[in-house]
C-alpha cells in the first residue's frame, strides 16, 4: 500500500471463516469490544473512520466517546460533529506526534484534568461549538507548543487564574460567544506570545477587578473582536480596548461580585430594591406592601448580626399566630420595628404590633392555623388547615380562596356561593379529594381538572350547572341530552364514577332519564336546540356586542367583544371620546360637553373641576394632647406628638420603653429625668443618631475628584483619566502609543471600526447612526423617572413631532411640553391619550382609535396648525381635535424643555395636579427616530438625559414583527430611483439603483451583498455654483456570499450610496446579513 492511500479495516461479517487467512489482519479497533487481551496493544484505524498514513478522519460518525488505541504516528485527528460528551484525563497520551486536534461541534460538557497530557507536538486545538461550562486548572497541562486554541461558542462562565499557565507558545486564543462575566488578574500572564484574543459576545462586568485588562490592552493590542462591557450600566456597550482604565470602577459592594473570579466564584449583584455597602445588604423597607403575617422563621437561623425592619402601611392580622413574631422582636433588641400596625381584628386596629400583649393575641375557630404547622405554608383566611387537609366549608365564599398550599390533598369548599372554577386549581397536583357541592357553579371549562391526576373523589352535586364543555368530565345536574352528550354518558358508564343522580331536563321525551342508565341511541340531534338552552353554553347567542362589535366565544359561558374603531367597553357600548380615560375622580360621573371637552358631576363629599377635593373631615376632630389631625377620605387620623400614642393620642408613653425607642441606626436609648439620650454607634451623631458624620469635610481628594461619604470612611470618585486612592495619578496620553492601524485615527465612537487596506468604515452599535456612529437615534426606557429633555419646541404658527415607539406597557408619559398651555402625550390603556391646550381653558382631549402596546414599531405623527392638533398612527385614519377660544396659536409663556419618555418628579407633581397628565410614570419601551419640525434629534446632544439606555435592545424585543422569511435563505435587490448626493453636490438627474437585503442563514460568514455591478459617471451641481462629476456603482445582482465580500460591499456602499432617501420616514423592516445584526429603519 502506498503512502497517502486511503485505507479502511476490512469487515468480514458476511464472509466465510476461510475468507481471511492472514492472521495479521485480524486486529481490534478502539471502538469495538475487546474480546481478548492480546488485542489491547494493537493500534489500528477505528472502523468508523477514514485514515491515511498520518491522518485519522472521524468527522460526523455519531461517535459517543474518543476512540482508543489510535496509531502513534498520527499527526492530525479530526473528531468534529460527533456526540462526544467527555474528554477523560490522558485521552491522547500516546499520540506524541499529533499536531492538530479538532473536537468542535460535539456535546462536550466536561474536560478532565490533564486531558491533553502527552501532546507535546500539538500546535492547534479546536474545541468550539460544545457545551463546556467549566475548565479544570490543569486542563491544558503540558501543551508547551500549542499556538491556536479555539474555545468560542461554548458555555464557559469563568476562567480559573492558572488555566492557561503552561501555554507559553500560544498565539491565538478565542473565547468568543461564552458566558464569561469576569477574568482574574494574572490569567493571561503565561501567554507571553499571545497576539490575538477574542472576548466579544460575553457578558463582561467592567468593574475595578478588571482594570488590569485595560492596562494590558493599552500595552498589547491583542483583543481584536471589539469586545464590549455588559455592565455596570455606566459603561455598558463601551469597547473594552478603547475604555480608559479609570472607567473600571467599583461602587459600594460591586467589588465583591467578581473579587473571586479566578476561583470561578461570581457573587450575586445587589438585589433590586435594596442598597448594598461592603457586606451590608439593606432590603429592610417592606412598607406599603400587602403583608399580613410574619412566619416564625422569618429571621432565619440567627447568622444575621443586625436586622432592621420598616413595616408601616401593611395590613397585619393580629391573632394568636402573631405572638411568636412579637416575642422575637422583644427578645433581640437589634431587631427594630417601625410603625407596623394591626388591621385585624377590629378591636386591635391601629395598634402597633410592638405594643401588643400576649393575652391580646388570641384566635377563634375561624382564625386558627393561619400558617400551617411550622413550615410557613399559608392557610386561607377563614379556613381551617390540618397537615394537608384544607376545610373552607360554609364560609360564604364568592370565589376560590387564595393561598391554598400546593401540597393540599383534600379540599372542602362545599356550601358556599362559588360560581366559577378558576384555572389555578390545576396547580394543586396532589389533590385526592375535592368537594364543590352546594355552590352556584354554572359552567365547567375545558381542562378545569386536567392536571389533577391524583384526584379520586369529586363531589359537585347541587350546583346550577347549565353547560358542560366537550372535554369536561363531571355530572349530577339537569342537562340537555342530545348527541353532544353521548360521550359523557359513555364515560360515566365505563368508569362507574357517577352516583346516578344526573338527569336529563330536555328534550321533553328524555326528561328525568338518568345518564347512568339511559340508552345512548336516544341522544339525537334532530330538533333545533332552543335558544334558551344554547345561551347556557354560548354567551354570543344573544349578540351582546353593540355598535358593530364582533362577539368571540371564550371558555364556558364567557365571551369578549372585539370593538370597531371609535368604541370600547365590555359590550362596545361606549364611544371613545373625552370621557374615555375616566378623567373625573372619586366615582364622579363624566358628561360630554363638546368634542374634546367634558364636565364632571361629583359624588357626595367631593368638589372641584375633576371632583378632586375631599371635604375636610378634621373639622370637630377628637385628637388630643396637641396631636395633628390628618384628613382622610370620610375619616381622619391623629398624628401624635413624640410621647403619646393611641387612636386619638390619648395615651402617654415613656421614652426608652418597648413602646417608644427614638434612637436610630443602632443607637442605645438611655432614660433621663424628663427626656432621653441616644448613645450613637461610631459614624453617626444627632439627637436620635440620624445624622451620618460627614467624613468628606477634611478629605484628601485631588484633581477635582468628588468625595463620596461613607460610614467612618470616604471614597474619591475620579474625573476621566485620573486614578489612585485620592485621584492623584494623571492620565496617560494616547500620543504615547503608535498609530499602527487606520482604525486608530478613524475612531468609531459607538461602533466597530473595520479596515480594508487604507479604507475604513464604522459598523454602528444598535441605536446609533452617523459616519462615525456619533449620533444616538434610539433610547430605551426601563427605569422609573427616566426622561430626555430637548430644547424648547416651536409650534407657532405650525409645528410637528414625528417618532417611532415600541412598547408593551399600557401607561407611561411619551411627550410633555407646557406650562399653563401644554401638549401631553401619554399611554392610557394601550392607547395614546393627548391633552392639548393652546391657552384656551379647558384643555381638549383625544384618545387614539388604535392601541400601540403590542411590542411592534408604530410611527407617530403629531401636527399642530394654530389651535388644531392632528394625530396619525402608521397608516390608520387621522384624528383631530380643536382647542377653540381667543388664543389662535400654541405658544408657551416660558421657554420650557420638551420632555421625551418622562418628566422630572417635581414637574410631574405639578402636571398631574393641573390635570395635564393622568399618570406621571415614565414610559417603558423604545423611542427612536425623533423629528422635531422635520429635523432629526440626536439624543446625545439632548439638554438633559436621566436613566435612559442607549439603544433599545435591552428595553424591547427588536425582532418582534420583523419578517425573517420563515428561516429560509433569502437575498434580493430592492430597486429605487433617487438623486445622488456627495460633499454638498447633487446629481443633475435621478439615478436608478438598488440595495441588497435578506438573510443568509445562521452562518456568520455569509451575508446578502452585491456580487455584480457596473460603474457610471454622473454630472453633479454643487452648492457653490460649480459643476463636477462622480463615478458611482450601480447594483445589478445580489446574492449570499463570503464575509470578506460583505465588508468590501459595506465600504463601497458607504462611499457610493449617500442618497436623499436615507432619512425618509417610511416603515421598513429588513434583516440585513447576519440575523444578529437587525437593522430597523423607521
Other CB atoms within a 10 A radius of the CB of residue 989 amount to 10
DSSP line for 1019-1038: EEEETTS-EEEEEEEEEEEE
Question: Measured between alpha carbons, how far is 756 from 919 in angstroms, rounded to an integer?
Answer: 52
* Domain 284-363 -> CATH class: alpha beta
Cα 749 versus chain centre, distance = 27
Indicate the pairing of strand 110-111 with strand 86-87: parallel
Alpha-carbon separation of residue 197 from 147, 173, 175, 765, 1032 (angstroms): 12, 5, 8, 21, 38
The 10s digit of each residue's pLDDT in 57-74 is 999 888 988 987 788 899
Cβ atoms of residues 638 and 628 within 8 Å: yes
CA dihedral sign of residues 63, 65, 70, 72:
positive
**Main-chain phi, psi angles of 426, to 5 degrees:** -65, -10
- Residue 159, all three cell numbers: 476562567
Q: With bands split at pLDDT 50, 70 and 90, how would you rate the model's confidence at 185? A: very high
Cβ atoms of residues 976 and 993 within 8 Å: yes
Lowest-confidence range among 306-320, 565-579, 669-683? 306-320
Cβ atoms of residues 723 and 729 within 8 Å: yes
- Angle at the Cα of 400 (from 399 to 404), degrees rounded to 5? 155
Query: Across-strand partners of 591?
Result: 599
Q: With bands split at pLDDT 50, 70 and 90, how would you rate the model's confidence at 739? A: very low
Cβ atoms of residues 127 and 82 within 8 Å: no
- Residue ranges of the chain that CATH labels 2.60.120.200: 775-950
Cβ atoms of residues 955 and 781 within 8 Å: yes
Place of cell 504615547: 736
CATH of domain 775-950: 2.60.120.200
Give the CA dihedral 284, 285, 288, 292, nearest 10 degrees.
Answer: 10
Give the CA dihedral 394, 400, 402, 406, nearest 10 degrees.
Answer: 100
Q: With bands split at pLDDT 50, 70 and 90, how would you rate the model's confidence at 500? A: low
Instruction: Flag whether pLDDT at 520 surpasses 90.
Output: no
- Residue 424, all three cell numbers: 389555578
Cα 497 versus chain centre, distance = 47
357 or 670: which leads in pLDDT: 670
Mean pLDDT value across residues 791-810: 91
Instruction: Flag whether pLDDT at 182 surpasses 50.
Output: yes
Q: According to the model, what pLDDT value does residue 873 have?
A: 94
The 10s digit of each residue's pLDDT in 75-85 is 999 999 999 99
Cβ atoms of residues 646 and 627 within 8 Å: no
Fold of 616-653: Laminin (2.10.25)
Cβ atoms of residues 191 and 169 within 8 Å: no
Q: With bands split at pLDDT 50, 70 and 90, how would you rate the model's confidence at 313? A: low
CATH of domain 576-613: 2.10.25.10
- Angle at the Cα of 500 (from 450 to 438), degrees rounded to 5? 65
3-class state of residue 23 by DSSP: helix
38 or 1039: which leads in pLDDT: 1039
- b (16+ CB within 10 A) / e for 757-768: eeebbbebbbbb
Q: What is the mean pLDDT of the chain?
A: 79
| Residue 426 burial (C-beta neighbours within 10 Å; 0-12, 13-18, 19+) | middle
The fraction of the chain above a pLDDT of 90, given in percent, is 26
Indicate the pairing of strand 342-344 with strand 316-317: parallel
Instruction: Flag whether pLDDT at 144 surpasses 80.
Output: yes
Q: Assign residue 1001 a region (left: φ > 0; alpha: ψ between -120 and 50; beta: otherwise).
A: left
- Residue ranges of the chain that CATH labels 2.10.90.10: 965-1081
Instruction: Flag whether pLDDT at 992 surpasses 50.
Output: yes
Helix, strand, coil content of the chain in percent (nearest 5): 10, 30, 60
Q: Assign residue 984 a region (left: φ > 0; alpha: ψ between -120 and 50; beta: otherwise).
A: left
- Residue 713, all three cell numbers: 470612611
The 10s digit of each residue's pLDDT in 951-971 is 888 888 776 655 555 556 678
DSSP line for 576-588: -STTTT--S-TTP
- b (16+ CB within 10 A) / e for 952-963: bbbbbebeeebe
- Residue ranges of the chain that CATH labels 3.80.10.10: 1-9+43-270, 284-363
Q: According to the model, what pLDDT value does residue 666 have?
A: 86
Alpha-carbon separation of residue 1026 from 981, 984, 991 (angstroms): 14, 11, 20
Lowest-confidence range among 585-594, 776-785, 1004-1013? 1004-1013
Place of cell 378634621: 618
Please tell me what DSSP assigns to residue 111.
Answer: E
Instruction: Flag whether pLDDT at 924 surpasses 70.
Output: yes
Question: Measured between alpha carbons, how far is 195 from 954 in angstroms, rounded to an integer?
Answer: 33
Question: Measured between alpha carbons, how far is 443 from 764 in angstroms, rounded to an integer?
Answer: 57
What CATH number does domain 965-1081 carry, 3.30.200.20, 2.10.90.10, 3.40.50.970, 3.40.470.10?
Answer: 2.10.90.10
Q: Select from 224, 219, 250 the least CA-distant residue to 235.
A: 250
Mean pLDDT value across residues 607-616: 86
Cβ atoms of residues 767 and 775 within 8 Å: no
Mean pLDDT value across residues 919-938: 92
Alpha-carbon separation of residue 968 from 758, 965, 1000, 1002 (angstroms): 36, 6, 8, 10
- Residue 480, all three cell numbers: 340537555
Q: According to the model, what pLDDT value does residue 33 have?
A: 35
Q: According to the model, what pLDDT value does residue 198 have?
A: 92
Instruction: Flag whether pLDDT at 387 surpasses 90.
Output: no
Place of cell 445587589: 270
Question: Measured between alpha carbons, how far is 801 from 714 in angstroms, rounded to an integer?
Answer: 47
The 10s digit of each residue's pLDDT in 428-487 is 888 988 999 889 888 877 677 777 878 777 888 788 876 655 433 344 455 778 887 777
**Main-chain phi, psi angles of 494, to 5 degrees:** -75, -25
- E-assigned strand segments in 315-394: 316-317, 335-338, 342-344, 371-372, 377-378, 384-386, 389-391
Other CB atoms within a 10 A radius of the CB of residue 328 amount to 16
The 10s digit of each residue's pLDDT in 833-886 is 999 999 998 999 999 999 999 889 999 999 999 999 999 999 888 999 999 999
Query: How many residues are there in the chain?
Result: 1082
3-class state of residue 1070 by DSSP: strand
Question: Does an H or E element contain 532, and which?
Answer: helix 531-537
Question: Measured between alpha carbons, how far is 902 from 917 in angstroms, rounded to an integer?
Answer: 11
Q: According to the model, what pLDDT value does residue 312 have?
A: 65
- Residue 652, all three cell numbers: 402617654
Other CB atoms within a 10 A radius of the CB of residue 178 amount to 23
- Residue 534, all three cell numbers: 344554547
Cβ atoms of residues 290 and 402 within 8 Å: no
**Main-chain phi, psi angles of 550, to 5 degrees:** -105, 130
Question: Measured between alpha carbons, how far is 111 from 87 in angstroms, rounded to an integer?
Answer: 5
Query: Across-strand partners of 982?
Result: 985
Q: According to the model, what pLDDT value does residue 383 have?
A: 87
- Residue ranges of the chain that CATH labels 2.10.25.10: 576-613, 616-653
Please tell me what DSSP assigns to residue 180.
Answer: -
Alpha-carbon separation of residue 924 from 115, 815, 824, 952 (angstroms): 50, 13, 16, 11
Looking at domain 1-9+43-270, its CATH architecture is: Alpha-Beta Horseshoe (3.80)
Cα 507 versus chain centre, distance = 55
Instruction: Flag whether pLDDT at 261 surpasses 60.
Output: yes
Question: Measured between alpha carbons, how far is 250 from 723 in angstroms, rounded to an integer?
Answer: 13
The 10s digit of each residue's pLDDT in 749-769 is 777 777 665 667 777 888 888
Q: According to the model, what pLDDT value does residue 28 have?
A: 42
Amino acid at each position: 500500500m502506498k503512502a497517502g492511500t486511503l485505507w479502511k479495516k476490512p469487515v468480514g461479517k458476511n464472509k466465510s471463516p476461510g475468507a481471511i487467512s492472514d492472521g495479521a489482519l485480524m486486529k481490534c479497533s478502539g471502538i469495538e469490544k475487546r474480546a481478548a487481551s492480546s488485542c489491547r496493544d494493537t493500534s489500528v484505524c477505528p472502523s468508523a473512520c477514514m485514515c491515511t498514513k498520518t491522518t485519522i478522519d472521524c468527522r460526523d460518525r455519531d461517535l459517543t466517546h474518543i476512540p482508543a488505541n489510535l496509531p502513534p504516528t498520527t499527526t492530525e485527528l479530526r473528531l468534529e460533529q460527533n456526540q462526544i460528551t467527555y474528554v477523560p484525563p490522558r485521552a491522547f497520551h500516546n499520540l506524541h506526534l499529533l499536531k492538530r486536534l479538532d473536537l468542535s461541534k460535539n456535546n462536550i460538557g466536561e474536560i478532565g484534568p490533564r486531558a491533553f497530557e502527552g501532546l507535546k507536538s500539538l500546535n492547534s486545538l479546536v474545541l468550539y461549538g460544545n457545551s463546556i461550562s467549566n475548565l479544570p486548572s490543569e486542563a491544558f497541562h503540558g501543551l508547551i507548543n500549542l499556538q491556536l486554541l479555539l474555545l468560542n461558542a461554548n458555555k464557559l462562565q469563568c476562567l480559573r487564574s492558572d488555566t492557561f499557565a503552561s501555554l507559553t507558545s500560544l498565539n491565538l486564543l478565542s473565547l468568543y460567544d461564552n458566558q464569561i462575566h469576569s477574568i482574574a488578574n494574572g490569567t493571561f500572564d503565561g501567554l507571553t506570545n499571545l497576539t490575538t484574543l477574542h472576548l466579544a459576545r460575553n457578558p463582561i462586568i467592567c468593574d475595578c477587578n478588571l482594570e488590569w485588562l485595560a492596562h494590558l490592552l493599552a500595552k498589547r493590542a491583542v483583543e481584536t473582536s471589539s469586545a464590549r462591557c455588559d455592565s455596570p450600566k455606566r459603561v455598558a456597550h463601551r469597547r473594552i480596548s478603547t475604555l480608559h482604565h479609570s472607567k473600571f470602577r467599583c461602587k459600594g459592594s460591586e467589588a465583591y461580585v467578581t473579587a473571586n473570579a479566578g476561583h470561578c466564584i461570581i457573587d450575586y449583584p445587589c438585589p433590586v430594591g435594596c442598597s448594598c455597602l461592603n457586606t451590608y445588604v439593606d432590603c429592610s423597607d417592606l412598607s406599603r406592601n400587602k403583608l399580613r403575617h410574619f412566619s416564625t422563621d422569618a429571621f432565619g437561623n440567627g447568622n444575621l448580626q443586625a436586622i432592621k425592619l420598616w413595616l408601616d402601611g401593611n395590613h397585619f392580622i393580629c391573632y394568636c399566630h402573631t405572638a411568636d413574631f412579637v416575642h422575637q422582636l422583644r427578645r433581640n433588641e437589634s431587631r427594630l420595628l417601625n410603625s407596623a400596625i394591626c388591621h385585624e381584628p377590629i378591636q386591635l386596629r391601629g395598634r402597633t404590633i410592638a405594643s401588643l400583649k400576649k393575652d391580646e393575641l388570641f384566635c377563634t375557630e375561624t382564625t386558627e392555623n393561619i400558617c400551617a404547622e411550622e413550615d410557613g405554608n399559608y392557610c386561607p383566611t377563614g379556613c381551617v388547615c390540618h397537615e394537608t387537609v384544607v376545610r373552607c366549608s360554609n364560609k360564604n365564599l364568592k370565589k376560590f380562596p387564595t393561598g391554598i398550599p400546593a401540597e393540599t390533598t383534600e379540599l372542602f369548599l362545599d356550601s358556599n356561593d362559588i360560581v366559577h372554577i378558576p384555572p389555578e386549581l390545576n396547580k394543586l397536583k396532589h389533590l385526592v379529594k375535592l368537594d364543590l357541592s352546594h355552590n352556584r357553579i354554572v359552567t365547567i371549562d375545558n381542562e378545569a381538572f386536567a392536571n389533577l391526576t391524583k384526584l379520586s373523589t369529586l363531589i359537585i352535586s347541587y350546583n346550577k350547572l347549565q353547560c358542560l364543555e366537550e372535554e369536561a368530565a363531571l355530572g349530577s345536574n339537569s342537562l340537555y341530552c342530545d348527541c353532544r352528550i353521548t360521550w359523557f354518558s359513555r364515560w360515566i358508564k365505563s368508569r362507574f364514577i357517577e352516583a346516578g343522580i344526573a338527569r336529563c331536563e330536555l328534550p321533553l321525551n328524555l326528561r328525568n332519564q338518568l345518564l347512568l342508565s339511559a340508552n345512548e341511541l336516544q341522544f339525537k340531534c334532530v330538533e333545533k336546540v332552543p335558544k334558551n338552552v344554547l345561551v347556557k353554553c354560548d354567551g354570543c347567542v344573544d349578540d351582546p356586542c353593540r355598535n358593530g362589535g364582533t362577539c368571540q366565544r371564550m371558555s364556558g359561558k364567557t365571551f369578549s367583544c372585539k370593538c370597531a374603531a371609535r368604541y370600547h367597553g365590555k359590550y362596545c357600548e361606549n364611544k371613545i371620546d373625552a370621557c374615555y380615560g375616566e378623567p373625573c375622580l372619586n366615582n364622579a360621573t363624566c358628561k360630554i360637553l363638546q368634542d374634546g371637552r367634558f364636565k364632571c358631576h361629583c359624588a357626595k363629599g367631593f368638589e372641584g373641576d375633576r371632583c378632586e377635593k375631599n371635604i375636610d373631615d378634621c373639622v370637630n376632630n377628637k385628637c388630643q394632647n396637641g396631636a395633628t389631625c390628618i384628613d382622610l377620605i370620610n375619616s381622619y387620623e391623629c398624628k401624635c406628638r413624640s410621647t403619646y400614642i393611641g387612636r386619638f393620642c390619648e395615651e402617654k408613653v415613656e421614652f426608652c420603653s418597648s413602646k417608644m425607642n427614638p434612637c436610630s441606626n443602632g443607637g442605645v436609648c438611655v432614660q433621663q429625668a424628663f427626656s432621653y439620650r441616644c448613645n450613637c454607634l461610631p459614624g453617626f451623631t444627632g439627637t436620635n443618631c440620624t445624622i451620618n458624620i460627614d467624613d468628606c469635610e477634611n478629605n484628601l481628594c485631588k484633581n477635582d475628584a468628588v468625595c463620596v461619604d461613607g460610614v467612618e470612611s470616604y471614597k474619591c470618585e475620579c474625573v476621566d483619566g485620573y486614578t489612585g486612592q485620592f485621584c492623584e495619578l494623571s492620565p496617560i496620553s494616547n500620543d504615547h502609543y503608535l498609530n499602527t492601524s487606520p482604525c486608530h485615527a478613524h475612531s468609531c465612537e459607538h461602533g466597530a471600526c473595520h479596515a480594508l487596506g487604507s479604507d475604513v468604515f464604522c459598523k454602528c452599535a444598535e441605536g446609533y447612526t452617523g459616519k462615525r456612529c456619533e449620533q444616538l437615534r434610539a433610547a430605551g426606557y426601563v427605569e422609573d423617572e427616566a426622561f430626555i429633555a430637548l430644547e424648547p419646541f416651536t409650534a407657532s404658527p405650525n409645528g410637528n413631532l414625528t417618532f417611532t415607539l415600541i412598547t408593551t406597557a399600557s401607561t407611561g408619559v411619551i411627550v410633555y411640553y407646557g406650562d399653563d398651555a401644554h401638549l401631553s402625550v401619554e399611554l392610557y390603556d394601550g392607547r395614546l391619550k393627548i391633552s392639548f391646550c393652546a391657552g384656551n381653558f379647558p384643555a381638549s382631549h383625544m384618545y387614539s382609535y388604535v392601541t400601540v402596546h403590542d411590542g411592534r414599531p408604530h410611527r407617530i405623527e403629531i401636527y399642530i396648525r394654530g389651535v388644531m392638533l392632528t394625530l396619525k398612527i402608521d397608516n390608520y385614519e387621522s384624528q383631530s381635535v380643536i382647542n377653540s377660544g381667543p388664543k389662535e396659536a400654541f405658544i408657551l409663556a416660558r421657554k420650557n424643555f420638551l420632555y421625551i419618555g418622562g418628566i422630572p418628579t417635581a414637574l410631574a407633581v405639578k402636571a398631574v395636579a393641573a390635570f395635564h397628565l393622568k399618570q406621571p410614570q415614565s414610559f417603558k419601551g423604545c423611542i427612536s427616530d425623533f423629528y422635531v419640525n422635520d429635523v432629526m434629534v440626536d439624543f446625545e446632544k439632548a439638554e438633559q438625559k436621566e436613566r435612559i439606555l442607549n439603544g433599545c435592545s435591552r428595553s424591547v424585543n427588536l425582532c418582534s414583527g420583523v419578517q425573517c422569511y420563515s428561516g429560509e435563505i433569502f437575498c434580493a435587490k430592492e430597486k429605487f430611483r433617487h438623486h445622488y448626493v456627495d460633499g454638498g453636490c447633487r446629481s443633475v438627474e435621478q439615478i436608478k439603483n438598488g440595495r441588497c437585503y435578506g438573510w443568509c442563514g445562521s452562518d456568520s460568514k455569509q451575508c446578502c451583498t452585491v456580487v455584480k455591478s457596473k460603474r457610471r459617471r454622473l454630472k453633479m451641481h454643487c452648492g457653490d455654483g460649480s459643476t463636477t462629476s462622480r463615478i458611482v456603482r450601480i447594483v445589478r445582482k445580489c446574492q449570499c456570499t463570503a464575509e470578506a465580500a460583505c465588508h468590501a460591499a459595506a465600504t463601497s456602499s458607504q462611499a457610493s450610496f449617500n442618497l436623499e432617501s436615507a432619512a425618509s420616514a417610511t416603515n421598513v423592516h429588513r434583516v440585513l446579513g447576519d440575523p444578529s445584526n437587525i437593522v430597523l429603519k423607521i
